[in-house]
Structure 1
Amino acid sequence: MAHGGGVNMPCHGYTGGVSSHQGRVLTDPRIIAVFWDPAFTISSPLVGSMSLLLTDVLSGSFVKGLQEYEVGVGSSIGVHIIDTKKYPPPSKIDAGGIQSQLAKWLDDGAVTPKPDAHEGRKVYVVFTPSSTSISDGVGACGYHNHGSYGPGGSDNLIWAAIFGYAGSTSADGVAFCVGHELAETFTNPTDQGYFVDTGDSRCEIGDLCEAAKGSSKIISYPYLGWNVEPFWSQASTACIKPGGTLFHTLRRANGAWPFPFGNVEAQLSNNLGNVFRAACALNAKGELHVCAIDGSGNVWHTIRAADGTWPLPWEDVEKQTSWKGGPIPRVACSVDATGNLHVCAIDRNGKLWHTIRTANGTWPFAFGDVQAQTTKVRRNSGIGPTPHVACSTNAAGDLHVCAIDVNGGLWHTIRKADGTWPFAFGDVQAQTRRVGPNIGPTPYVACSADPSGDLHVVVVDLNGGLRHTIRKNDGSWPFAFGDVLAVTKAAVPKVCAQLATRLRVLENFFQHVHDPAAMQKLAQEIAAVVKQQEENDCNQPNAISNVACAAQGIGELHVCAVDLNGILLHASRLSNGSWTSFESVQRHTILVGPKQSIGMTPSVACSTTGALDLHICAIS
């Protein structure tokens, strides 16, 4: 459980794998970050960088690599900064002291929410005071543990502690430790999950891979500008470093999927290696701008020409804009009516930036600090670090920016076509709650402006629910967030109900038949029904982990979403406000290409314009 190069020496290089034991894992992890040091303030870069690190570990290819252990995509559901005057840091503490202090904070309401009696999702990550020594953590940078909290609680307080950092520095120095502890907490939260007793030590999936056999030197690899550790894959019987490859396909305006997914980097003269995130934007000529982020957190740009070729190599956006601010783990982009490409980026401290690539291919502007502009309006204090952003231009050339703060709050502002930022960030749910329910924190957002100037906003809530609302061109928010998954499930073909009934009948028969020949025949019939369900997209998603959207000129909104299993899906909101059911993108694309899927997809981007085709960029 403790992590550090010299702590787990007997585990290093062990290749015997791990055992599942009772198989208890966190299938839907929810992180509550607890910052306990005077250096932590809501506006400090340290809180921003730590929050962004947690988000990147929870939502990208890193956590997708844990899917073989049935761990799903996670989310951050709270950031709490402890008042060090009320709760002064001790000179020394151990695991029991950390757990007792966490229980005290929960009792006092300093940390919320409390764990359920039979908790299976929440993990409290405590960043201990830099001035406090950890008496049972000598040589380690962190560990994870568990205990009981509240009446009826049984192993329901699941937590990790990170203590190998200096109070005033960024998250760089502990990224390897955070990834290690979270991977192990998710796969072995209460000592009933994945680990192995080697005889000399109890080893978890991070311990086996943090260093070579006989060595205490930490092994790490670049991931969105952070350095994280590999972890053990039982399926591969090896240590893995989850990466990503960028693929592209398109859906014709008539609904056809004529092309398989193509490997973008195979088309370009220079190769980025791993691509962990991407954004894309189509211009009026049919050219697709693609922005990508590599393992080091560098931003790159290229273009797919209207004829389907990729004539340009990746260009280094940071070099073009003379960026000196370090890695950029998040990017969004949109093309305006004049052909200018707007790029919104988030640095590793959660600060939001904006720049432009002009239609003639130049980058005349340095990245500008967005909140330095929006806080000038009425001298507001801003919204703090923003770990997620989406943007979209309208026909007038205005750029809509939607940003998520560290507590999952959704905010909106506008950059006018003349380059000014006349509005402070506005609280979106403060508007939508006037006409509907509070949907709670929203970790992910996508947005797209339609030709009428209305802005469609699609968010993912903490339960993986997909929600949609509209900001009208006049600035009003007349609609509550609607439940997209509820309406897409209702839109499945009528044959799905018949197939579901048929499947239940066959499965019931199967339970009462003992003749081998009859059992084989029933199994074949069941398989045929399941195949029909897949062909008709009857099995609609119950939860979403990532989303993108694109408004078409005919009033249709395309929504591309990734479910908790990494399956890429597409649905449409029609011009009359009704929705189609979700269809599997991979199922369509393998019908016209290689008989294989692109694999699990941690993130997706999409774009369209006018009545043109829908372009999809996906990380595999």
Structure 2
Amino acid sequence: MQRNGIRLLAPVALAAVATVGLSVLGGASAQADTPGTAQLVTIDQQGDLEHTVRSANGAWQPQLGQLSGYHNVSALTSVIRAGEDNIFVQYDNGSGPQLGHLVRHADGTWDTAAQTPPTRAAAQELSVTSINGRLALVRLDASGTPEAAEENDAYGNFGQWYPVPTDGHKLRSIAAAGVGASTTLRVVELTDDGKSIGVADGSLGGWTTGRWTPSTSNPNLSATRVAAAQVAGQLQVADVVKSDTNADAIPSVWHGILGDAGWSGFNSVPGVYGRPYHVAMTAAGNDMQLAYTTEDGGLFHTVRHTADGSWQQDAAMVPGSANKALGGWVSIAGV
């Protein structure tokens, strides 16, 4: 199930929108606070954000809804907090990189001028999570160093950025996850060589690091992106994996779990089509949902069932995404 004319991602550009109650073209409103619901956001070739909702019964909106006006998107992440989809996007409208925060309310209306942390230089990557109802945003700077900022009051104002430890490693990719209802921020870290994944748990007050594991079970492969979600008390991690020795080899998506007894080891996710480029994952109900984009503009989704550890038989193309010429970034957030 491949498409012709493979297209590698090129950054697409952004003009900021700051409108409360922004309408979304193409998608009907769907309840965001029902357990098992997930919301997905990505970018298209024209540089616009595209958003859709997957209901708890597995039905998707028939088409993606466009949030126009965003170009040069260079980082994208989202999380659902109290039934509202919070999206952080890094963009450039011609005057340099900016950080935007969009909120999709439970009734389907949008606020595109929500609070953001203090201004920083452009990030390589962003990842947001909710910790006991408080947003925590992690950024990876140009040098491969992560830092985090958290909401510190009831009005959504963020505190200052603070460093996230890496055990001395330069990083290639990061993913944030909350640990239950505690105040602990969990950051999954992929080393710059793509070979190792570690976990840092903590906050401004102190950290526990380590728990490093190979990103794949094959020494001839390395990971390019990492995603994470806390699902039913366990940390689940996915990464996009490529060959170090054969540039023509088709990339794949791998998955591993960190439980009380340690890492399960990473294994290839079944039923993955195309050439994966970017991956995202979330807890939705008791299961894990995973979305990925492909180098030629595909957008796919699959589910891992917590009850027995089984995967959906094959990843499926997200309805409404065909012929959208989607870009590389994707984020999925669940309830």
Q: Same fold (TM over 0.5)?
A: yes
Q: Does the 8 A contact of 1:344 with 1:352 survive in 2?
A: no
1:424 match: 265
How far did 1:272 drift? 2.4
Contact 2:278 2:330 in 1 (8 A): yes
Larger C-alpha radius of gyration, 1 or 2? 1
Structure 2 match to 1:549:
332
Counterpart residue identity of residue 212, structure 2: D
Q: What's 1:392 paired with?
A: 229
Task: Give CA-to-partner distance per residue, 1:190-248, whole Å, 9 cap, x none.
Answer: xxxxxxxxxxxxxxxxxxxxxxxxxxxxxxxxx99xxxxxxxxxxxxxxxx99532221
Deviation, 1:352, is: 3.3
Q: CA deviation at 1:457?
A: 1.0
Residue 468 of structure 1 deviates from its aligned partner by 0.9
Partner residue of 2:206 out of 363, 368, 374: 363
Q: TM-score, normalised by structure 1?
A: 0.36
Matched, 1:277 2:125: yes
Q: Which amino acid aligns with 2:99?
A: L
> Which amino acid is the alignment partner of residue 391 of structure 1?
A
Greater RCO (Cα-Cα under 8 Å, separation 6 or more): 2
Which runs of no fewer than 5 residues in structure 2 stay unpaired?
15-44, 47-73, 76-93, 244-250
Determine the structure 1 residue equivalent to 2:112: 260
SS of match in other structure, 1:295? coil
Describe the superposition over 1:100-149 as per-residue Cα deviations: whole angstroms up to 9, x where unpaired.
xxxxxxxxxxxxxxxxxxxxxxxxxxxxxxxxxxxxxxxxxxxxxxxxxx
Deviation at 1:476, TM superposition (A): 0.7
Change (3 A) 1:352 1:246: farther
Matching residue's letter, 1:256: T
The structural deviation recorded for 1:290 is 0.4
- Could you tell me how far apart the structure 2 residues matched to 1:382 and 1:544 are? 29
Q: 1:384 to 1:464 in 2, by over 3 A?
A: same
**Superposition CA RMSD, Å:** 3.3
| Separation in 2, partners of 1:478, 1:262 | 36
**Paired AA for residue 363 in structure 1:** G
2:320 pairs with one of 488, 511, 514: 488
Cα displacement string for residues 27-50 of structure 1 (whole angstroms, at most 9, x for unaligned residues): 9744xxxxxxxxxxxxxxxxxxxx
Compared CA separation, residues 29 and 303, structure 1 to 2 (3 A): same
How many residue pairs are counted as aligned between the two chains? 248
- 1:383 Cα deviation from its structure 2 partner: 6.7
Is the Cα–Cα contact under 8 Å of residues 277 and 292 in structure 1 kept in the other structure?
yes
Contact preservation (8 Å) 1:468, 1:482: yes
The CA deviation string for residues 473-522 of structure 1, in whole angstroms up to 9 with x for no partner, is: 111113311111xx2369xxxxxxxxxxxxxxxxxxxxxxxxxxxxxxxx
With normalisation by structure 2, the TM-score equals 0.64
Match of 1:248 among 94, 97, 101: 101
Map Cα deviations across residues 297-317 of structure 1 (whole Å, 9 max, x no partner). Answer: 321101124623334210011
The 4+ residue runs of structure 1 with deviation greater than 6 A are none
> Which protein is richer in helix relative to its size?
1
Q: Which amino acid aligns with 1:332?
A: A
* Residues 206-605 of structure 1: pairs in structure 2 closer than 5 A: 244-257=97-110, 259-262=111-114, 264-265=116-117, 268=118, 271-284=119-132, 286-305=133-152, 307-318=154-165, 323-326=167-170, 328-339=171-182, 340-358=184-202, 361-371=204-214, 380-381=217-218, 384-395=221-232, 397-407=233-243, 408-416=251-259, 418=260, 420-421=262-263, 423-429=264-270, 432=271, 439-452=273-286, 454-473=287-306, 474-484=308-318, 487-488=319-320, 541-552=324-335
Secondary structure at the aligned position of 1:245 is classed as strand
> Which sections of structure 1, spanning at least 5 residues, go unmatched?
1-26, 31-57, 67-71, 74-222, 225-240, 433-437, 491-539, 553-620
Percent sequence identity is: 22
- Secondary structure (helix, strand or coil) at the match of 1:346 reads strand
